[in-house]
Amino acid sequence: MPADLPITERISIPGWRLVVETARGGGPGGQHVNTADTAVRLRLHLGSVTEVHPGVLARIRRAFPSYVTNDDELVVSSRGSRSQSSNLDAAYARMAGMFRDNLQPPKRRKPTKPTRASKRRRLDGKAKHGAKKALRGRVRDDQG
């Protein structure tokens, strides 16, 4: 059975909710790559998670749509290391980070108005730029 997934000091997802799958890692590696299942895929069915607020799960679904399957499973893969335990640790860390990053709702943007001085600076810059462009026109010879 997989280990628990600690998110914060008070929140952790029990290991029985997680499914760990292993597969052969791709890329070079000699004889080792043909025999060892080093790549790790960690699955969690989001609909069954009761340890975190449903709003957190909704934010995760919105933030990581390519990691959530049609069956509402969060799938995290790791294959960067030649060691299965290192890849498993990396997958656990990545999934816990996804939850940690979405525990707090994002701050609402407070719309602001540009100041009068910033409007003036913007218009002055536009006028200066237009004058510079006007000087680049074709040179006319009126004396002849």
> Domain spanning 5-101: which CATH class is it, in words?
alpha beta
Beta bridge partners of 41: 21, 77
Helix (H, G, I), strand (E, B) or coil at 97: helix
Instruction: Kindly state the tokens that stand for 6.
Output: 């600690």
List the domain boundaries for the chain.
5-101
How many other CB atoms are found less than 10 A from the CB of residue 68? Answer: 18
Exposure on the CB side of residue 61, measured as CA atoms within 13 A: 13
Using a cut of 0.75, tell me whether the model's pTM lies above it. Answer: no
**pLDDT at res. 104:** 92
First vs last C-alpha separation in the chain: 95
Q: Give the tens place of pLDDT for each residue, 102-122.
A: 999 989 999 999 999 999 999
Cα separation, 83 vs 109, in Å, equals 44
- Rounded CA-CA distance 95/76 in Å is 7
What is the sign of the dihedral through the CA atoms of 63, 65, 67 and 69? positive
What's the pLDDT tens digit per position in 20-37? 999 887 766 667 666 788
